[in-house]
A and B are shown apart, each in its own frame.
Chain A
Amino acid sequence: MSPEIQERSDTGQIPVAERPATTPAPRPQTWVLKVIMAVTGSVFVMFVLFHLAGNLKVYLPDDPQGHFNEYAHWLRSLLNPLLPGSTFLWAFRATLILCLCLHVYSGFTLWLRAHRLRGRHARKVHATKHHLTGRTMLWSGLIILAFIVFHLLDLTVGRVVASKEFTSTDPYSNLIHSFERPQVAVFYVAVMVVIAFHLSHGIWSIVNDFGATSHRVRSVFLFLADLIALVVVIGNASIPIAVLMGGITL
């Protein structure tokens, strides 16, 4: 029992429950974890959209290589000369890593709680979209987590899974060389579908976890959730497909 409720019971304002709560109060509280999920999730939604904008530079008609590499360089030297070197980049990375840790910790804790408190019973459920995406959030999340590691090794660090031609000075050619490997391209496309599932349910959850009860806000975000998911999957997954089909070349 929480101190708050204990206190009220002791003063006799409400009768003490006949069978008081048998489980200890969960810490951190469930609603706090949900808000953490929503805040960090919002950061990732924003990140994914900006990341998409950068990726789409490969489709610029003249000199996509120049534009893409210029953008990549700009990211590394952002806020120069106010901040020296890659200070901003590292602060940005640190924020993302912190958000990722909080998101994974909260998500996993909530999943464990849900698993424990539903009891050992099978549920017969309606075949709704939210059912498909909502109940697979942990699994889509784990796939995305594995993908983040793969993606960083492939195109940022250039180790283990990266293409033989990896160079730290030409991100555009790294991208082309990586996606010219069919199995890697297929993997990227598949993961984008998983990310779309995660985004679609995640954005709808953010709206609920921030407590939006207005009919208009809920309708708009229910639509936006699917729209953003669709834009992300089409925008990103088209790049490896275009590389494989020879639409984007060095």
Chain B
Amino acid sequence: MRLILEVWRQDGPDAHGSFETHEITDATPEMSLLELLDRLNHQLVDNDQEPVAFESDCREGICGTCGLDVNGVPHGPEDNVPACGQHVRSFRDGQTVRFTPFRAKAFPVVRDLIVDRTGLDRIIQAGGTISVDAGTAPDADTLLVTHDDAERALDFAACIGCGACVSACPNGAAYLFTGAKLSHLALIPHGKEERAKRARTMITQMQHEFGPCSQIGECALACPAEIPLVAIAAVNRERLRAGFKKGKAN
């Protein structure tokens, strides 16, 4: 397969970026988009050119490291699939594929296709943790979690923090991310201890760098972990609940 790649090149955070066009003549339909970029980098190195900087790690959809916009859509043309799981077969022979970094005010470009996603880390730092003395392992059946709660908590815990929701959002909002973390931790016994405090601190931090939600739903369509849109309602639910628990942690 022959593909024309338009790749965003930017030397550093303050440098002026632009698109660079390359042709790949030996792409195969089963290649992932990251392998396509690998192929491009081999070609660039062979021609004594600087390879394209992009992030990847596990390449099996569980780490959330890979993140880039493909033809303006986070991760690529398929809904709910990370870039590493998207394949060249989504494109026609001879098609132009445009790679850009994730797009949001909160995600400044570090280099080429790599963006600084520490804004999401700061939301987690603000309260997406559990700080209780768990002691030694409890006896069986002393800490009961219903099957439904465990399943729902796991569904929200599936968020890999890739930032696609922010890039997909026309408002640059991180509601889906924050809502997934809040919902996940509010459902399990240890997390409940700091439920109200967490809602206050995480949502305050979220508002520093990320936009307001307009319930458009782009985030849930982009999310490779298939976090449902209900996570968005959880943000306001948790914050309203915290408002009624003035001064209390849980």
Q: Which A residues lie at the B interface, using CB under 8 A?
A: 1-2, 4-5, 8, 13-15, 17-23, 25-26, 29-31, 33-35, 110, 113-114, 116-119, 121-126, 128, 130-131, 134-135, 137, 201, 204-205, 207-213, 215, 218
Mind listing 11 A-B residue pairs with CB under 8 Å? A1-B208, A19-B118, A21-B122, A31-B207, A114-B212, A117-B104, A125-B218, A135-B214, A208-B213, A208-B233, A210-B237
Q: In the bound complex, do residue B215 and residue A25 qualify as a contact, i.e. CB atoms below 8 Å apart?
A: no
Within 8 A of A (CB), among B123-146: 125-126, 129, 131
Q: In the bound complex, do residue B170 and residue A208 qualify as a contact, i.e. CB atoms below 8 Å apart?
A: no
Q: Contact flags (1/0) for B203-247 with A, using CB distance below 8 Å?
A: 111011111111111100100000000101111111111000000
Complex interface: chain B residues within 8 A of A5 (CB): 126, 201, 204-205
Q: Which residue of A lies closest to B125 (CB)?
A: A14
In-complex Cβ contact of A119 among B73, B105, B118 (8 A) = B105
- A46-B72 Cα distance, complex, nearest whole Å: 40
Most chain A Cβ neighbours within 10 Å, of B201, B204, B235: B204
Is B106's beta carbon under 8 Å from chain A?
A: yes
Once A15-B125, A114-B211, A201-B215 are accepted as A-B contacts, the answer to whether A211 and B234 lie under 8 Å apart by CB is: yes
Is B68's beta carbon under 8 Å from chain A?
A: no
Is B75's beta carbon under 8 Å from chain A?
A: no
Complex interface: chain A residues within 8 A of B236 (CB): 31, 34-35, 208-211
Interface size on B, as a range, is 35 or more
Once A5-B205, A17-B122 are accepted as A-B contacts, the answer to whether A114 and B218 lie under 8 Å apart by CB is: no
Q: In the bound complex, do residue A128 and residue B118 qualify as a contact, i.e. CB atoms below 8 Å apart?
A: no
Once A113-B212, A134-B216, A211-B234 are accepted as A-B contacts, the answer to whether A118 and B207 lie under 8 Å apart by CB is: no
Q: In the bound complex, do residue B218 and residue A31 qualify as a contact, i.e. CB atoms below 8 Å apart?
A: no
Once A25-B208, A117-B104 are accepted as A-B contacts, the answer to whether A213 and B230 lie under 8 Å apart by CB is: yes
In-complex Cβ contact of A208 among B125, B208, B215, B241 (8 A) = B215
Closest-CB distance, B160 to chain A (whole angstroms): 21
Q: Which residue of B lies closest to A122 (CB)?
A: B72
Most chain B Cβ neighbours within 10 Å, of A121, A122, A128: A121
Complex interface: chain B residues within 8 A of A113 (CB): 171, 211-212
Closest-CB distance, A10 to chain B (whole angstroms): 14
Complex interface: chain A residues within 8 A of B214 (CB): 110, 114, 134-135, 137, 205
- A137-B183 Cα distance, complex, nearest whole Å: 28
Q: Which residue of B lies closest to A20 (CB)?
A: B122
Q: In the bound complex, do residue B172 and residue A130 qualify as a contact, i.e. CB atoms below 8 Å apart?
A: no
Is B173's beta carbon under 8 Å from chain A?
A: yes
Q: In the bound complex, do residue B170 and residue A126 qualify as a contact, i.e. CB atoms below 8 Å apart?
A: no
CB contacts between A and B, total, < 8 Å: 158
Q: In the bound complex, do residue B208 and residue A23 qualify as a contact, i.e. CB atoms below 8 Å apart?
A: yes
Q: In the bound complex, do residue A118 and residue B72 qualify as a contact, i.e. CB atoms below 8 Å apart?
A: no
Q: Which B residues lie at the A interface, using CB under 8 A?
A: 71-73, 103-107, 116, 118, 121-122, 125-126, 129, 131, 168-173, 183, 200-201, 203-205, 207-218, 221, 230, 232-241
Complex interface: chain A residues within 8 A of B131 (CB): 13
Q: In the bound complex, do residue A124 and residue B118 qualify as a contact, i.e. CB atoms below 8 Å apart?
A: no
Q: In the bound complex, do residue A207 and residue B233 qualify as a contact, i.e. CB atoms below 8 Å apart?
A: yes
Q: Which residue of B lies closest to A129 (CB)?
A: B217
Q: In the bound complex, do residue B205 and residue A205 qualify as a contact, i.e. CB atoms below 8 Å apart?
A: no
- A119-B103 Cα distance, complex, nearest whole Å: 7
- A128-B229 Cα distance, complex, nearest whole Å: 14
Closest-CB distance, A174 to chain B (whole angstroms): 38
- A20-B118 Cα distance, complex, nearest whole Å: 10
Q: In the bound complex, do residue B103 and residue A121 qualify as a contact, i.e. CB atoms below 8 Å apart?
A: yes
Q: In the bound complex, do residue B106 and residue A117 qualify as a contact, i.e. CB atoms below 8 Å apart?
A: yes
Q: In the bound complex, do residue A204 and residue B211 qualify as a contact, i.e. CB atoms below 8 Å apart?
A: no
Complex interface: chain A residues within 8 A of B129 (CB): 14
In-complex Cβ contact of A123 among B118, B168, B215 (8 A) = B168
- A20-B205 Cα distance, complex, nearest whole Å: 10
In-complex Cβ contact of A114 among B71, B173, B201 (8 A) = B173
Complex interface: chain A residues within 8 A of B173 (CB): 114, 117
Q: Which residue of A lies closest to B211 (CB)?
A: A117
- A23-B211 Cα distance, complex, nearest whole Å: 12
Which 6 residue pairs spanning A and B have beta carbons closest together? Answer: A211-B237, A124-B72, A114-B171, A21-B208, A117-B211, A118-B172
Q: Which residue of A lies closest to B207 (CB)?
A: A30
Q: In the bound complex, do residue B216 and residue A110 qualify as a contact, i.e. CB atoms below 8 Å apart?
A: no
